[in-house]
Amino acid sequence: MNPDTDTVRAVLDAVKADGRTVLTADEAKTIAGAYAIPVPPSGVARKVEDAVALADGMGYPVVLKVESEAILHKTDAGGVLTNIGNGDQVAVGFAQVMENARAFDAGADIAGVLVQKQVQGGQEVIVGGVSDPVFGKLVAFGLGGVLVEVMQDVTFRLAPAGRDEAASMLDDINGASILDGVRGSVPVDRAAVAALIERVGALITDFPEIGELDMNPVLASEDGVTAVDLRILCDFDPDPERYRPSQQEILSAMTRIMQPDAVAVIGASEGEGKIGNSVMRNLIDGGYPGAIYPVHPKADQILGHQCYPSVTEIPGNVDIAIFCIPAQFVAGAIAECGQKQVPGAILIPSGFAEVGEHELQAEIVQVARENNVRLMGPNIYGYYYTHKNLCATFCTPYDEKGQVALSSQSGGVGMAIVGFSRSAKMGVSAIVGLGNKSDIDEDDLLTFFEQDPNTQVIAMHVEDLKDGRAFAEVASRVSKQKPVVVLKAGRTSQGARAANSHTGALAGDDRVYDAVLKQSGVIRAHTLNDMLEYARGLQTLPAPKGENVLVLTGAGGSGVLISDACVDNGLSLMAMPDDLDAAFKEYIPPFGASGNPVDITGGEPPTTYRATIDLALNDDRIHSLILGYWHTIITPPMVFAQLLGEAVGEARAKGIDKPVVASLVGDVEIEEACEYLMDRDILAYPYTAEKPVAVLGAKYRWARAAGLL
């Protein structure tokens, strides 16, 4: 398709010149034509005889619709008549539509009556384009009629959407099977629907002033699609584009910020309990090997380190300045950081937008931009980068090195990350507080973590995205290589309200977040604990090489619960090949369940566990293994843990590294067994059948989105 952009430009310019924002039906039709969007023949009649002539020309039946900028919902105004079968009916209908419209709104400026050839048959769908405050231009697709209005069965994609993206929307709605034809109706032309979505996406991208484009209904049949009703609204006064450094600039600053060689602490203090003291202690106690420069107006030394009255007077290079001073002094100190060419200011202080001080926050952003300083925060606990032994925070130190990078917008969640990590012995590469996100946000972090060899999994607690489109773009790229987990807080309207009062941020509609995060390959966590468990598990599990999951249990009851959880998490129980079934049967009692789950039964000794686990690990057709262990006297928990550890260890030594997760049920000894297994990078959870499956499910969601399966 080669769109006729000149025509669209001309129409939109004329609308703008008119001082209008709502396009007439004729204007909308012209734009549709320029982008090959099929619409029925139509014309606007100002007089009754013109209407009859138009209808005679296009053939019957026709639809009559009032044409007035003042009347947006024509049906509600009695302004739509369908099934008009001949010229006489057109004449009567014309009068009736005009009368109804005047009764509805006596002052409305009525341009006439739209006469449109009535499209027969087909499934009603809705295709649209919207401008989302978070994600910008989006295309929307749903089923028409009550399905979208009552069931809200609609999905979204970032615009422009390629043909495949557009086509995937048809499978993404709950009523998807309706498009395949139900009860005698024929399947719709899916390619035509996808092409229509693609064109809408191109149109609203090419012409950003199109704020809203609504085709409701589109009639989709086996022969193609027709946009029966088309509304276009413009916004000629869009929000200014957000400032965004180039990727190279982001990376160069973020690398120095996340892996600094020299740190200044502005407001360092000897006074115990003061933030400037806690930060100094954490740097020192955390074993930070770089230079530490306390900045203090008068002090000579703080905690054994030479002090400077200003960051500008520090002799060497400085990579970050950690701010431990009251809000009103921040702007001035940022300017000094600029003079000193410090790339990053870590703004622990609160007292900005989160308490309504929006102007003060705007001021520091302005100063920072002028001085080429990136800001983290304000209103944050700081951050950790373990591979540099950096604890740039007033909280407790944390130094367990690993490959998960986590961020949070809230300090409480940040502390939960630290506590959970310590309790679960989860190694991390970084924990970052983003707070008010006046500048550095999730896409800056993703850009850094993307190329950070110390980071293999990224998990983020997000209350709002300042620039959802930038996030989606970076996340789409990063998630191909490294799993990105997002806990989006403020999902629900009550939750969103609390988010507003907390950060002053406007949370977007959750359905939009859900669709765009999925499109970006992001794994969504629905609870804080899920985010933490996914982070831990995704780091540990290797990528699966296929969809075949085998469940192997000592307790049939666990097998049932695990199977339920597999369905809930979109995992496929492998159909058991006959030869493999026979191989398992050699080890298990005749009454053990064959098939999948394999139930070795509760009375079996360690050798049975070991033999069947080996079988599962060594068979290439099995891609992932879920174990359901049941505590018995014959195979006690630690015996099971040791044999599983050995079996997986031997397989790994042979180069076989498939995901293995385990559910352990039994008395308290299973806790120790789980810990033993976790220490050996085998995911094992006590008193739950479902958690290991959920974590494995998260790994599969990522692997599919990354195109590995």
- Collapse the DSSP code of 400 into the 3-class scheme (helix H, G, I; strand E, B; otherwise coil) and give the result: coil
List the x/- string, 372-401, binding to its own copies by CB under 8 A.
-----------------------xx-----
Interactions with its own copies, residue window 637-666 (CB under 8 A): 665-666
Could you tell me the smallest distance in angstroms from the CB atom of residue 626 to its own copies? 12
Q: How many CB atoms lie within 10 A of CB 455?
A: 24
**Which residues in 619-655 are b (16+ Cβ under 10 Å) and which e?**
beebbbbbbbbbbbeebbbebbbbbbbebbeebbeee
Pairing of β 374-376 and β 344-347: parallel
Window of 45-53, 124-132, 484-492, 649-657 that interacts with its own copies by CB under 8 A = 484-492
Q: Which of 443, 463, 467, 619 binds its own copies (CB under 8 A)?
A: 463
Could you tell me the smallest distance in angstroms from the CB atom of residue 589 to its own copies? 8
Could you tell me the smallest distance in angstroms from the CB atom of residue 337 to its own copies? 25
Closest CA to 119 of 68, 198, 178, 62: 62
Interactions with its own copies, residue window 232-271 (CB under 8 A): none
SS (H, E, C) 65-99: EEEECCCCCCHHHCCEEEEECCHHHHHHHHHHHHH
422 binds its own copies (CB under 8 A): yes
CA–CA separation, 676 vs 405, rounded Å?
24
Amino acid code (one letter) for 57: G
Q: Which of 300, 423, 578, 655 binds its own copies (CB under 8 A)?
A: 423
Rg of the chain in Å (alpha carbons): 31
Window of 132-140, 298-306, 574-582, 591-599 that interacts with its own copies by CB under 8 A = 591-599
- In whole angstroms, how far apart are CA 132 and each of 249, 465, 466, 509? 27, 12, 12, 9
- In whole angstroms, how far apart are CA 125 and each of 143, 197, 292, 517, 697? 4, 11, 63, 24, 32
Both tokens assigned to 585: 């049967």
231 binds its own copies (CB under 8 A): no
- Helices 358-370 & 330-339, crossing angle to 10 degrees? 10
Of 147 and 616, which has the nearer Cβ to its own copies? Answer: 147
Could you tell me the smallest distance in angstroms from the CB atom of residue 350 to its own copies? 8
420 binds its own copies (CB under 8 A): yes
497 binds its own copies (CB under 8 A): yes
Q: Which of 154, 266, 418, 470 binds its own copies (CB under 8 A)?
A: 418
Q: Which of 492, 581, 582, 607 binds its own copies (CB under 8 A)?
A: 492
Both tokens assigned to 630: 């049941």
593 binds its own copies (CB under 8 A): yes
688 binds its own copies (CB under 8 A): yes
Q: What is the DSSP letter of 544?
A: P
602 binds its own copies (CB under 8 A): yes
Could you tell me the smallest distance in angstroms from the CB atom of residue 52 to its own copies? 27
Interactions with its own copies, residue window 426-455 (CB under 8 A): none
331 binds its own copies (CB under 8 A): no
221 binds its own copies (CB under 8 A): no
Could you tell me the smallest distance in angstroms from the CB atom of residue 563 to its own copies? 4
Q: Which of 628, 645, 659, 697 binds its own copies (CB under 8 A)?
A: 628
Could you tell me the smallest distance in angstroms from the CB atom of residue 424 to its own copies? 9
CA–CA separation, 98 vs 157, rounded Å?
39
670 binds its own copies (CB under 8 A): yes
Interactions with its own copies, residue window 47-86 (CB under 8 A): 75-76
Q: Give CA angle at 215 (214, 221), nearest 5°.
A: 160
630 binds its own copies (CB under 8 A): yes
Q: Which residues contact 209 (CB under 8 A, 6 or more apart)?
A: 12, 16, 234, 235, 236, 238
631 binds its own copies (CB under 8 A): yes
532 binds its own copies (CB under 8 A): yes
Both tokens assigned to 423: 């309790």
**Which residues in 400-426 are b (16+ Cβ under 10 Å) and which e?**
eebbbbbbbbbbebbbbbbebbeeeeb
Could you tell me the smallest distance in angstroms from the CB atom of residue 570 to its own copies? 11
356 binds its own copies (CB under 8 A): yes
Size of interface with its own copies, in residues (CB under 8 A): 99
Q: Give CA angle at 412 (409, 416), nearest 5°.
A: 105
Could you tell me the smallest distance in angstroms from the CB atom of residue 688 to its own copies? 5
147 binds its own copies (CB under 8 A): yes
> With contact defined as beta carbons under 8 Å apart, do 221 and 230 qualify?
no
Q: How far is CA 284 from the centre of its chain?
A: 37
Of 238 and 589, which has the nearer Cβ to its own copies? Answer: 589
Could you tell me the smallest distance in angstroms from the CB atom of residue 492 to its own copies? 4
Interactions with its own copies, residue window 267-326 (CB under 8 A): 273, 278
Helix or strand run (H / E) with residue 641: helix 637-653
Q: Which of 671, 680, 704, 709 binds its own copies (CB under 8 A)?
A: 671
Of 89 and 563, which has the nearer Cβ to its own copies? Answer: 563
Q: How many CB atoms lie within 10 A of CB 18?
A: 9
Amino acid code (one letter) for 77: A
506 binds its own copies (CB under 8 A): no
φ/ψ bin of 544: left (φ > 0), alpha (ψ from -120 to 50), beta (otherwise): beta
Pairing of β 123-132 and β 136-143: antiparallel
Of 290 and 504, which has the nearer Cβ to its own copies? Answer: 504
102 binds its own copies (CB under 8 A): no
Q: Which of 7, 30, 168, 174 binds its own copies (CB under 8 A)?
A: 174
CA–CA separation, 63 vs 43, rounded Å?
11
Of 544 and 686, which has the nearer Cβ to its own copies? Answer: 686
CA–CA separation, 137 vs 673, rounded Å?
51
CA–CA separation, 212 vs 285, rounded Å?
56
Could you tell me the smallest distance in angstroms from the CB atom of residue 561 to its own copies? 5
Q: Which of 4, 56, 69, 149 binds its own copies (CB under 8 A)?
A: 149
Window of 3-11, 171-179, 315-323, 617-625 that interacts with its own copies by CB under 8 A = 171-179
Could you tell me the smallest distance in angstroms from the CB atom of residue 205 to its own copies? 31
14 binds its own copies (CB under 8 A): no
Of 99 and 672, which has the nearer Cβ to its own copies? Answer: 672
Could you tell me the smallest distance in angstroms from the CB atom of residue 263 to its own copies? 21
